[in-house]
Chains A and B, each alone.
Chain A
Amino acid sequence: MKKVLIANRGEIAVRVIRACRELGLSTVAVYSEADRTALHVRDADDACAIGPSPPRDSYLRIDAILDAARRSGADAVHPGYGFLAENEDFAAAVRDAGLTFIGPSAEAVALMGSKTAARAAALGAGVAVVPGTDTPLSAEVSDADMARLAETIGYPLLVKAVAGGGGKGMRTVTEPSDLSGAVRGARSEAGASFGNAAVYLERRLTRPRHVEVQLLADHHGTVLPFVERECSIQRRHQKVVEETPSLAVTPAIREAMTAAAAAVARSVGYTNAGTIEFLLDEDGRFYFLEMNTRLQVEHPITEMVTGVDLVRWQIRIARGERLDLDRARLLAPTGHAIECRIYAEDPDNGFLPSPGRILHLRVPSGPGIRDDSAATAGLEVPIFYDPLISKLIAWAEDRPSAIRRMKRALGEYVVTGIKTTVPFFAWLLDEPDFLAGRFHTTYLDDVLQGRNGRAFGEPSAEVAEVAAMAAALQAVLSPSSAASPADPALAADAVSRRWKARARVEGLR
């Protein structure tokens, strides 16, 4: 293996480029029209255009990506997460083209990528699963049949995309009357996000935690589980804060859960990096939820408490090397790590996406801080992709210190031009229930609903006054840079024309 093509964009493409470079491998970026100026393109040794901005015309096009591999002379492909990372056709096509796929086999992706088949595999390995439908709902299923099926599972229930992940294509249903609408919505979102509109039903447990186990598995039969990650802080089923270890996991639960995770992986002959997600109920019972056959967004927190570079090991495993890590060390974390997913969203406006140009950026650093990002000043955050712009990770000796360190780092994180979720995290990290570790998967949605749209972090009178003085000082010192557009209406028109032009190009209109 000499040259790795990264079939992804954003922070994860930059993360993989870094791992490759540390291993002496050269790198190939692929990019859509919207990403010509993106950091992964600038950082890679080679970069290939693969098509227009909508994912289906670029990052989801297997033929275009394989063509880029051929043109650039890449001999391996890392899929990152999202896009084609859990697409078995992609894994198979990479293999059939004579390239190394840095991930599990196409067969394992196919098996565990189907949430319904994965549940069967977990049951086969002796691991409990959440009650739900054994097969996907047929596209022609009648509302009446669907309602009967739902009754056997019980309300409240979840409609979930068979090919899903990241909360997309998922709906909660508490009333039978909402079922068919939720199935319709989940199907349309799943079709758009994953190219597969199939959905299934699963019971929603009361106040469960989402706890998951990272695994590495080599081609020589070794499967190693890592200390769990706590991912219960979610907004609309999307993880926003992750930490490790979990306050809710006792040594006995950890032993049982990591053994169960390894058993599931072993039973399907799994290789490379993967994650088994569990729901943990209030009585300490856990249920297999699904397996992610890829690197997770939140993998850095595991790296911080174990000292293991997971991406480096993904590549080494794909090269056929043996896992020679000390098993006990992976289950005995050093200190505590937390990740905040910084999104280009406006927390004061219902977390609506906030695409646009980053005008000024200052990123935190210092002891125990890691910022996995692809954001730069001047970068246009496109409307076409996930609004994740950075993962901020804090490590410290214990949980309270890690939280304080994260708050310190958030206070150093300056992004202007787009709205971000930084003020939201600053608020969350002061919440008594969060500090005490009293939360479950709908905790955040519940407290956000209770806030009823109240703004996060209103600037103090002192800050507002300093802002007023600074604006005037900048106008004195540098009239051109502080000047507002001479005619705001004209500027408005120019921006709107630019959006329209782009929308036309991307076929959005």
Chain B
Amino acid sequence: MQYEVEVNHRIRQVSVRRADGRFVVGVDGRECTIDVARIDAHTLSLLVGTSSYDVSVVADPASGQLALSVGAVVLGVSLNGRRRWGRREDGGHDADGPHQLKAPMPGKIVRVLVKAGEAVRQRQPLVVIEAMKMENELRAARDGVVAELHVAEGQSVDAGALVAVVVPA
């Protein structure tokens, strides 16, 4: 079996075949033999050589990815080109392009701190969103001008809702 697996923004080609009760797994052409023990529906114990890894893999409907842990390290993994939808775009935006500020969680806009057309600096708070009883500031990811403002005070927003767009001045 051949899979395309994306971990941490890097895509790896992974092949899996059975051999003598074990698995031969290739990552980008390099192969190793793994002893796999199934613990429960989503927990595996892997022995790669003598190195022991406790792994959990669960499909996460909220992100469209696999929620995966290796030991206590948690990672989001996509299988076969299923990129996660609804990802934050402020992390990977082009530094020279417009920045779309999106609500990272559902909540209520309690304050709008800027007006459309206003010049803003990087990390300047644009709106305050309340979720889980705490007020959180959503900040500009770049210097520029507020080109679009899509929320008003008192409005509730879903995770991923477009809040504002900041474009280069």
Identify which of A349, A411, A495 gathers the most chain B CB atoms within 10 Å of its CB: A495
**Is residue B149 contacting chain A, with contact meaning CB distance below 8 A?**
no
How far apart sit A354 and B125, CA to CA, in the bound complex (Å)? Answer: 20
Given contacts A472-B14, A492-B86, contact A484 B59 (CB under 8 A): yes
Q: By the criterion CB–CB under 8 Å, are B66 and A469 in contact?
A: no
Residues of A within 8 A of B169 (CB): none
Q: CB < 8 Å: which of A350, A384, A465, A496 contacts B136?
A: A350
Identify which of B7, B59, B133 gathers the most chain A CB atoms within 10 Å of its CB: B133
**Is residue A189 contacting chain B, with contact meaning CB distance below 8 A?**
yes
How many A residues touch the partner, as a band? 35 or more
**Is residue A383 contacting chain B, with contact meaning CB distance below 8 A?**
yes
Q: By the criterion CB–CB under 8 Å, are B58 and A464 in contact?
A: no
Interface size on B, residues (CB 8 A): 72
How far apart sit A81 and B158, CA to CA, in the bound complex (Å)? Answer: 30
Stretch of A14-22, A97-105, A240-248, A356-364 on the interface side: A356-364
Residues of B within 8 A of A385 (CB): 132-133
Q: By the criterion CB–CB under 8 Å, are A470 and B65 in contact?
A: no
Given contacts A192-B133, A360-B69, A483-B59, contact A467 B77 (CB under 8 A): yes
Residues of B within 8 A of A491 (CB): 61, 64
Digit string of B146-169 for contact with A (CB within 8 Å is 1, else 0)? 000000000010111000000000
**Is residue B55 contacting chain A, with contact meaning CB distance below 8 A?**
yes
Q: By the criterion CB–CB under 8 Å, are B156 and A503 in contact?
A: yes
Residues of A within 8 A of B95 (CB): none
**Is residue B104 contacting chain A, with contact meaning CB distance below 8 A?**
yes
Residues of A within 8 A of B119 (CB): none
**Is residue A48 contacting chain B, with contact meaning CB distance below 8 A?**
no
Q: By the criterion CB–CB under 8 Å, are B5 and A485 in contact?
A: no
How far apart sit A489 and B68, CA to CA, in the bound complex (Å)? Answer: 21
How far apart sit A95 and B56, CA to CA, in the bound complex (Å)? Answer: 50
How far apart sit A416 and B108, CA to CA, in the bound complex (Å)? Answer: 26
Q: By the criterion CB–CB under 8 Å, are B61 and A466 in contact?
A: no
Q: CB < 8 Å: which of A423, A457, A471 contacts B66?
A: A471
**Is residue B131 contacting chain A, with contact meaning CB distance below 8 A?**
yes
Q: CB < 8 Å: which of B12, B44, B86 contacts A474?
A: B44
Q: CB < 8 Å: which of B36, B69, B82, B158 contacts A473?
A: B36
Q: CB < 8 Å: which of A188, A412, A508 contacts B156?
A: A508
How far apart sit A478 and B38, CA to CA, in the bound complex (Å)? Answer: 10
Q: By the criterion CB–CB under 8 Å, are A489 and B85 in contact?
A: yes
Given contacts A473-B36, A488-B64, A488-B82, contact A478 B41 (CB under 8 A): yes
Q: Shortest beta-carbon distance, A483 to chain B, in Å?
A: 6
Which residues of A476-491 have CB atoms within 8 Å of chain B's CB atoms?
A: 476-478, 481-485, 488-489, 491
How far apart sit A114 and B4, CA to CA, in the bound complex (Å)? Answer: 60
**Is residue A424 contacting chain B, with contact meaning CB distance below 8 A?**
no
How far apart sit A503 and B156, CA to CA, in the bound complex (Å)? Answer: 8
Q: By the criterion CB–CB under 8 Å, are B1 and A466 in contact?
A: no
How far apart sit A185 and B130, CA to CA, in the bound complex (Å)? Answer: 12
Q: By the criterion CB–CB under 8 Å, are B70 and A467 in contact?
A: yes
Interface of B is mostly: strand
Q: By the criterion CB–CB under 8 Å, are A383 and B72 in contact?
A: no
Q: By the criterion CB–CB under 8 Å, are B14 and A469 in contact?
A: yes
Given contacts A383-B107, A488-B82, A496-B158, contact A464 B65 (CB under 8 A): no
Given contacts A475-B3, A485-B59, contact A353 B131 (CB under 8 A): yes
How far apart sit A474 and B41, CA to CA, in the bound complex (Å)? Answer: 9
How far apart sit A471 and B3, CA to CA, in the bound complex (Å)? Answer: 9
**Is residue B116 contacting chain A, with contact meaning CB distance below 8 A?**
no
* Chain A residue at smallest Cβ distance from B1: A476
Q: By the criterion CB–CB under 8 Å, are A192 and B70 in contact?
A: no
**Is residue A24 contacting chain B, with contact meaning CB distance below 8 A?**
no
Q: CB < 8 Å: which of A355, A474, A500 contacts B105?
A: A355
Residues of B within 8 A of A253 (CB): none
Q: By the criterion CB–CB under 8 Å, are A410 and B58 in contact?
A: no
Q: By the criterion CB–CB under 8 Å, are A417 and B59 in contact?
A: no
Given contacts A417-B67, A474-B57, contact A463 B73 (CB under 8 A): yes
Q: By the criterion CB–CB under 8 Å, are A464 and B75 in contact?
A: yes
Residues of A within 8 A of B19 (CB): none
Residues of B within 8 A of A483 (CB): 59, 79
Q: CB < 8 Å: which of B3, B7, B132, B135 contacts A386?
A: B132
Residues of A within 8 A of B79 (CB): 471-472, 475, 482-484
Residues of B within 8 A of A356 (CB): 62
How far apart sit A117 and B56, CA to CA, in the bound complex (Å)? Answer: 53
30 contacts between A and B (CB under 8 A): A168-B133, A185-B128, A188-B110, A383-B131, A386-B132, A411-B71, A414-B69, A415-B74, A416-B67, A417-B67, A463-B73, A464-B8, A464-B75, A466-B53, A467-B5, A467-B75, A467-B77, A468-B5, A468-B7, A469-B27, A469-B34, A470-B44, A472-B5, A475-B79, A484-B80, A494-B61, A496-B159, A496-B160, A499-B158, A509-B156
Shortest 7 CB-CB distances between A and B: which pairs? Answer: A416-B67, A359-B58, A474-B57, A484-B82, A472-B14, A360-B56, A488-B64
Give B contacts to A, CB under 8 Å.
Answer: 1, 3, 5, 7-8, 10, 12, 14-16, 23, 25, 27, 34, 36, 38, 41-44, 46, 48, 53, 55-62, 64-75, 77-80, 82, 84-86, 88, 104-108, 110-111, 128, 130-136, 139, 156, 158-160
